[in-house]
Structure 1
């Protein structure tokens, strides 16, 4: 990686079954500051493990999840379906 480059980790599906509670801290210890999860509940769980991380939810901003997204400092990924 180049100097000053940032990298992010995708840890959806419980870090592909490896255990996000073990994998994410190991990645953070090696410099990852940004993480991507698929669903809101994964983001909430990851927030408990990594309170300072930037966490994005790939399934975007679902109706009714506003309070939870804000309470856990999660960021939705903007997405749209193509027809």
Structure 2
């Protein structure tokens, strides 16, 4: 298991926090794996806002995507969901 720190736009950050967005699509330049943790850090106008959320990568489908992209199923960590 690895922890990855990633930038996320406010519109997508809010969707993750609300539980509406349950996936991430990223370039797989970090060899993401099921069980990894993502720290999604809200990033707006070239700066971090200070808001972040931790999610668990629960599923990565095994089908090829163009340009080394990966789709990751995510869920909020329990303490984040409360």
Q: Same fold (TM over 0.5)?
A: no
Report the TM range for the smaller structure's normalisation. Answer: under 0.3
- TM-score after normalising by structure 1: 0.26
Higher strand proportion, which one?
2
Flag the structure with larger Rg.
1
Q: Which has the higher contact order (CA 8 A, sep 6+)?
A: 2
User: TM-score normalized by structure 2?
Assistant: 0.26
Greater helix content: 1
